[in-house]
Structure 1
């Protein structure tokens, strides 16, 4: 009789539930990870509400995962090791992958093309895991490593010598970026329509928005957000777009050229992203732990995906 685990199931009709499913089988070079914490990303909510990106049904989504290896077919990743999972699944054979796997045209993600982390266990290639070297770092903080890796990669688009940055949108990505920029001694202002999130930004040292800034991080992605950033940045400044929206940009080429603004886009993270993020988390675990505003159980997840409650920060599914 096959062993079962509890996992989220997202069905083709976009009904979500939690049920017993067969424990994942291991292939050569795979490890079995017992999930300790799984973060809810905006992409998880979008997939649950639209079916976007899903390649199999019913799907177990979830791509921000931290846990403990409980079975291994790879000597380099032993049983008992605490790990963060790298959810990128690029081909690693094309010319774009040679630049960065995050640019792979065939890139898929854990949970979209194979079962992900909204389950008690998952099986992944050992090469897709990163050890949590700091034994004192809790799993529900270490799980921030992937979104923080996205931030670390995006902030590489901000030039050296930048002194002032405006963050548009203070969800988890905006808040994580704030902590990283604050650690670099950069003055940060925030534009956020939610009063609670704006208050959090101020509590973490954000200054009032106003006047031209050297760079802007668009983590909001609302219609017109890039234009708003273009108008708020100084001449010759930089706008980094990390939020994903399907609206067109309404900036004329003439205005863009005459103002001398660089618009930089950033998607995903590079191979060194998660290790870099884990180092940052270990340096200031309490500050980053504050980004997690809500911890829920797996059985509460379907409701949070289908009709997400507004939260001040990151929602993490905690496993016993």
Structure 2
């Protein structure tokens, strides 16, 4: 038995003892140290979207220590987990697993990391240097997502606007300036705590972004009309990068793209090399990232935290982003 945050089919949340799956050949058992809270977790908690089994154990941003594995050299190693679950058989997978037509994620189609123990394929494990604090290493998965997104942008942008300064928006900012310290980054974000964080990390913050002024506009929020706002704010010939998962109609026409000769890019997930690259970046400069973790919640109190601070008493609906920047859950017992 292991302790886990369970999401029931009626969308209620509870922390309870739970029977984790038994490992089969090629799988490892991890003692989970931390699991990060992602906006997609909140959406699944509030709507039941993407879940393929009940009760569900969400959590796809995971760092832990290997407790059992056929490869004895892995036992005792700290690792992060590749959250992607592609079919590895379709033509899209052959191009890139993140493009898999049948792609699912840890927590959605198999139990995830909001638990004290986790069973995953050994092939999903990426070792972490002993010197890297687990509370920083847990950022590897969302940093990999950010790296993949930034890889799609043209080099040499001098001005970038980020719409939304949640955890991914903050990591996108960090990755942009890591690669190009001279790039000017502006943020539009309604929540005061996140606006303060953006300022602390060196971004300009504005309530009224300039129209047609930015080389690149990144939508990391996905709010209603966010894409239309991004297209209005990017310069002619510029690039709009969509990372946030919005679910409302875009409120725009093709002319909004064509007449400004805008390049529109959507990015999801990460490729095979990004998680290792993310671990390397975190290990090389952990102080750059440690400040992104604003809140640590014990697993035992996680359901109460979500109900009080995020989802509300009913637990239904898409939920709202917590005022904190990055919430991580302390899962080790």
Q: Report if TM-score (shorter chain) is over 0.5.
A: yes
Gaps of at least 5 residues in structure 2 are: 311-321
The alignment status of 1:154 with 2:149, answered yes or no, reads yes
1:81 alignment counterpart:
77
The runs of at least 4 aligned residues of structure 1 exceeding 2 Å deviation read: 207-211, 303-312
The alignment status of 1:41 with 2:42, answered yes or no, reads no
- Where do 1:170-319 residues align within 5 Å? 170-183=165-178, 184-185=180-181, 186-209=183-206, 210-211=209-210, 212-309=213-310, 310-319=322-331
Gaps of at least 5 residues in structure 1 are: none
Distance 1:301 1:26 in 2: 26
The CA deviation at 1:311 is: 2.5
Per-residue deviation, residues 257-315 of structure 1 (Å, max 9, x unmatched): 11100110001111111111111111221221111110001122113344544323110
What is the alpha-carbon root mean square deviation over aligned residues?
Answer: 1.4
The alignment status of 1:93 with 2:89, answered yes or no, reads yes
2:122 alignment counterpart:
126
| 8 A contact 1:48–1:306 mirrored in 2 | no
**Residue 308 and residue 52 in structure 1: after superposition, are their counterparts in 2 closer, same or farther (change >3 A)?**
farther
| 8 A contact 2:160–2:186 mirrored in 1 | yes
Corresponding residue to 1:28 among 21, 25, 30: 25
**Residue 223 and residue 91 in structure 1: after superposition, are their counterparts in 2 closer, same or farther (change >3 A)?**
same
Secondary structure of the residue aligned to 2:203 is coil
Secondary structure of the residue aligned to 2:68 is strand
| 8 A contact 2:238–2:261 mirrored in 1 | yes
1:65 alignment counterpart:
62
1:167 alignment counterpart:
162
Secondary structure of the residue aligned to 2:14 is strand
The CA deviation at 1:192 is: 0.6
| 8 A contact 2:144–2:278 mirrored in 1 | yes
Moved more, 62-71 or 154-163: 154-163
> What's the TM-score once normalised by structure 1's chain length?
0.95
2:318 alignment counterpart:
none
